[in-house]
Structures are given as C-alpha cells and as structure tokens.
Amino acid sequence: MTPQEFCLLLISILTSAAGQFFLKSGALKIGKSHTGNLASFLAGAIVSPELLAGLACYAFGVLAYILLLSRVKLSVAGPALASGYVFSVLLGYFAFGEAIPLKRVLGLGLIVFGVILVLWKD
C-alpha cells in the first residue's frame, strides 16, 4: 500500500469514527426511542446538528473509501477498514466513559493483528 493509499484508508477510518462519535452524541441528546415517541424522535433526528455532522463525516469517509477502492484490491481495503473498530472502542471509552472489558481488548488485538497480516507486503 502506497503512502497515498494509506492516507485514503486513514481518512476513511477516521471520518467513520468521527461519524460514529457525532451519531452517538446526537442519539444521546435526542434520547431513547420507542413506538410512542417515534415521530418526535425522527423530527429531532432530522434537525440535530450532531446527527447531521455524523452523516456528513460518513459521506466524506465513503468518498475516501471509493477513491481507495479505485487503487487497491477489495480483499485488502475491506479488512483494513476493520481497524476502525479500535477507534470506536477508544472513542466510547474516552468520550462516553464506556468500559473496555478484557475480552474486548483481546478481540481488538486480534483485529489489529489481522489487519497487519492483510496489509503485509509479500
């Protein structure tokens, strides 16, 4: 993977993680949904700046990913994108105070190891 391709991958991963952060922030601001408040929930979601920022981040990440796919094999880009899970867990921990149990740390370690194997040059 060239430095340009790696940058596209990193942009895609980071913007997706940022999108998850904003979507979670917006979801917490709106509150839990259930059948009784579905209309107000959707109305709140449509005008929520956090949710709109999250969707914009996802859109930018998808564009970077499409550019990446035009340069590298899907069998490399797809698994490499899984490293974004690490950022999601770290965002959950630092931004939202979510716990990271040992099983999750081990799982993330396996993901990182797998991504390294996928990106390893022959």
Domain ranges for the chain: 3-119
- Give the amino acid at 109: G
Label residue 70 by pLDDT band (50, 70, 90): very high
The residue-averaged pLDDT of 77-88 equals: 90
Average predicted confidence (pLDDT) for the chain: 90
pLDDT at 33 over 80: no
How many Cβ atoms are within 10 Å of 1's Cβ, its own excluded? Answer: 18
pLDDT score of 20: 94
Task: Give kind and range of the element (H or E) at residue 30.
Answer: helix 3-30
Give the pLDDT confidence of 40-67 residue by residue, as tens digits. 777 777 888 999 999 999 999 999 999 9
- What is the model's pTM? 0.83
pLDDT score of 41: 73
Give the residue, 25 or 33, on which the prediction is more confident: 25
pLDDT score of 42: 76
Return the structure tokens found at 62.
Answer: 């998808």
pLDDT at 109 over 80: yes
The residue-averaged pLDDT of 19-44 equals: 81
